[in-house]
Structure 1
Amino acid sequence: MTSTPEQSAPNPEELRAAIASGDPVQAMPALAKLRALPTSDNDSVVIPLLILGSEQQAFLVRSLSCSGLGYRRNEQGWQVLSRLLQVDEDPNVRAEAANALASFGVERAWPLLRESFAKDGAWLVRCSILSAFAEQPEISPAWLLDLGRQAIADADGTVRVSGAEILARVVREQAGNPHGSEARALLQPLQQDADHRVVAAALNGLQS
């Protein structure tokens, strides 16, 4: 006998119990099932369960909850994500919060994520912010320059690579104007970087 949608839909109370258990083996599948709940349940059912997940001890549970809050966006979720970005002890969670906040839109997320990029030295968080903004078609080239300039000064090679790739985008898209010229000037010294990946990214940008 074929089950009806009503029979197959997740039970919110069962999901709540699994998430509140704090056990990733139970909580992670429960959080994943939240996507099956109707969008109309967003504020009344889904968001409170995602917030509950964000309060659990296991960082994997908090990270997945952040991802869900970016997918099911509302004001309460924004506030929770903003707090986690600033105070969570685990860089995995802060990185996921950054990704989720970026999904609210470049204009709104930029001030918060730019501040976090400047203050948070964790390479994972910084790379997540760079990645979140790097492919945004509508982002200001001045903002990309700002991020790229900070990123190439980082001690971590992976962050510098991401910064070089962002500057390369500015060179490609802003050729012949001051933004493109500044990005090219910033890439020039990276040809002597100690990390061969940074050198490759810089050369690729300079050949644009």
Structure 2
Amino acid sequence: MEINQIKAYLDNPNPQNRIKAIVELRNYPSNVVVPLLKQKMYDEKFMIRSFVAMGLGYKLTDEGFEILLKLIENDLDPNVKAEAANSLAKHGEKAIPHLLELFKRESHWLIRQSIFAALDEIGSPNVFIQLSKWGLEGDDLTVKLASISYLRKLKGTPVEPEAINLLLELSTSEIVAIRAQVARVLGIFESPKAKEALAQLREDPDHRVVGATLEVLF
């Protein structure tokens, strides 16, 4: 699609045409794409704003980085914030402080899950342990389970003892799903405390927890 047609589609009242225009921009250089995407960062449709955030993740410029920061700070839709977080992470280490602040500030499960995924490759052990702690302090079970699973990444790192202590505290949770997730993660650690807690979970009254302890054997 020619650039003049893309510009016309970006201003079209039909959101499907605006989405098509944003997708077509992938074929153009950053100096053309980023200013056009910026024009649509406040579009009335959250789907358009999400596509803007996604598109900026493929055109990594300083201006695009600043636009993404505005989206995670000011947009009210969790879908847009989540997509912007994914794109921010593509900028590497300079995005980490902003993503940590977003995780701390926003409790929505989609945003937090996106940040977990976004930081998976560029985070450090200290980042992982902090995310897990914040996730475990929240009320969303999906995020709690992801936070527990994330602790497995800390094996062999300086914060492994801290990760194991978190797991030990959670091993007596009243929530079956949490105990089961703890069992899956504890099984990868070699410390005596981890093995002792796992042995206790093998005697859990709920068969789902017992089953989880066996998963690590295969």
Report the TM range for the smaller structure's normalisation.
Answer: 0.7 to 0.9
Unaligned runs of 5+ in 1: 1-9
Aligned length in residues? 188
Following the alignment from structure 1 to structure 2, what is the Cα–Cα distance between the partners of residues 79 and 129?
18
Q: Report what 2:95 is aligned to.
A: 109
Following the alignment from structure 2 to structure 1, what is the Cα–Cα distance between the partners of residues 176 and 3?
51
Are the counterparts in 1 of residues 96 and 123 from structure 2 also a CA contact under 8 Å?
no
Tell me which amino acid in the other structure corresponds to 2:167: L
Following the alignment from structure 1 to structure 2, what is the Cα–Cα distance between the partners of residues 64 and 128?
15
In the TM superposition, what is the alpha-carbon distance from 1:197 to its structure 2 partner?
4.0
Moved over 6 A (4+): none
Higher-Rg structure is: 2
Tell me which amino acid in the other structure corresponds to 2:101: E
TM-score, length-normalised on structure 1?
0.84
Say yes or no: does 1:91 pair with 2:75: no
In the TM superposition, what is the alpha-carbon distance from 1:132 to its structure 2 partner?
0.9
Alignment of 1:122-161 (within 5 A): 122-133=108-119, 135-136=120-121, 138-161=122-145
Q: Report what 2:206 is aligned to.
A: none
% identical aligned pairs: 31
In the TM superposition, what is the alpha-carbon distance from 1:173 to its structure 2 partner?
3.8
Q: Report what 1:3 is aligned to.
A: none
In 2 relative to 1, CA 131–188 (structure 1 residues): closer, same or farther, beyond 3 Å?
A: same
Q: Report what 1:202 is aligned to.
A: 182
Unaligned runs of 5+ in 2: 189-218
Q: Report what 2:171 is aligned to.
A: 191
TM-score, length-normalised on structure 2?
0.80
Tell me which amino acid in the other structure corresponds to 1:127: Q
In the TM superposition, what is the alpha-carbon distance from 1:162 to its structure 2 partner?
1.4
In the TM superposition, what is the alpha-carbon distance from 1:199 to its structure 2 partner?
3.0
Matched residue SS, 2:171: helix
